[in-house]
């Protein structure tokens, strides 16, 4: 993709938010399925991993310890610092990365809506088809490593990493780009258009996590709002042929 083809058109914040909400409202059932699958698999698998790696050490979490947040966090850090703790974090990271294509599948749903077609639930698994999974899984692993490293330095590098890679997911999905090329292009476009991308990212973050207010259940519907924001911005800033 040539440099001159990166920005597609000027766009306003209101335009992005309004269009994103249209995608969000039109795909509530798909978003519910995606978030239930994602957090359900994480919760069930995470519980099994905890039992496998820390089963004989869980006795330390007494009622008294659970009531003391400081001591509780200290014990968690001590466990994670062990050899089993390292294995646990690695396996959990690989598991989370393997679920990243679930959210990418929502992009397929949005494209079908744009084409006036009726998507079905199987479309959310499009990120797992063919080579899509390996590209997205590999990127998710790499992204999580850099993000974790960045967040350890007063969180600012981690936040910057999120901002600069905002378009990598759709670039990998909709184009034949390799990871490093996609990261480079995403960073250039996000940086050049930070006045619109940054406010959209903040709004997406606030709305995505606002579901916690509604007894947590609302979170299952609001969490994927990120994807609608990214897709709307992506369509405006990139001239590509959608699949």
Do the beta carbons of residue 190 and residue 197 sit within 8 Å? yes
- Tell me, what's the pLDDT at 243? 45
Phi and psi angles of residue 220, each rounded to the nearest 5 degrees, phi first: -65, -20
Q: Looking at residue 212, what DSSP letter applies?
A: G
pLDDT at 184: 96
Dist. CA 225–CA 31, nearest whole Å: 9
Q: State the pLDDT at residue 87.
A: 94
What is the crossing angle of helices 132-151 and 179-192, to 10°?
A: 60
Written as tens digits, the pLDDT of the chain (243 aa) is 444 445 445 778 999 999 999 999 999 999 999 999 999 999 999 999 999 998 888 777 777 777 778 888 888 888 889 999 999 999 999 999 999 999 999 999 999 999 999 999 999 999 999 889 999 999 999 999 999 888 888 778 889 999 999 999 999 999 999 999 999 999 999 999 999 999 999 998 888 877 666 656 667 788 889 999 999 999 989 865 544
**Residue of 83, 86, 65 lying closest to 74 (CA atoms):** 65
pLDDT at 34: 93
- Residue 26: Cβ within 10 Å count: 14
């Amino acid at each position: 993709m040539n440099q001159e083809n990166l920005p597609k058109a000027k766009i306003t914040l209101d335009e992005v938010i309004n269009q994103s909400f249209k995608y969000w409202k039109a795909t509530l059932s798909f978003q519910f399925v995606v978030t239930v699958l994602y957090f359900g698999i994480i919760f069930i698998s995470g519980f099994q991993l905890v039992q496998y790696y820390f089963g004989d050490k869980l006795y330390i979490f007494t009622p008294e310890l659970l009531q003391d947040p400081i001591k509780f966090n200290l014990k968690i850090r001590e466990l994670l610092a062990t050899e089993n703790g390292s294995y646990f974090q690695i396996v959990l990271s690989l598991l989370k990365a393997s679920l990243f294509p679930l959210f990418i599948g929502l992009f397929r749903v949005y494209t079908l809506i744009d084409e006036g077609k009726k998507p079905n639930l199987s479309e959310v698994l499009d990120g797992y088809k063919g080579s899509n999974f390996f590209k997205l899984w590999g990127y998710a692993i790499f992204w999580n490593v850099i993000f974790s490293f960045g967040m350890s330095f007063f969180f600012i590098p981690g936040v910057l990493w999120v901002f600069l890679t905002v378009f990598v997911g759709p670039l990998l999905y909709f184009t034949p780009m390799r990871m490093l090329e996609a990261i480079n292009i995403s960073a250039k476009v996000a940086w050049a258009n930070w006045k619109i991308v940054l406010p959209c990212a903040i709004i997406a973050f606030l709305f995505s996590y606002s579901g916690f207010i509604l007894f947590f259940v609302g979170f299952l519907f609001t969490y994927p709002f990120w994807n609608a924001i990214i897709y709307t911005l992506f369509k405006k800033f990139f001239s590509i042929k959608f699949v």
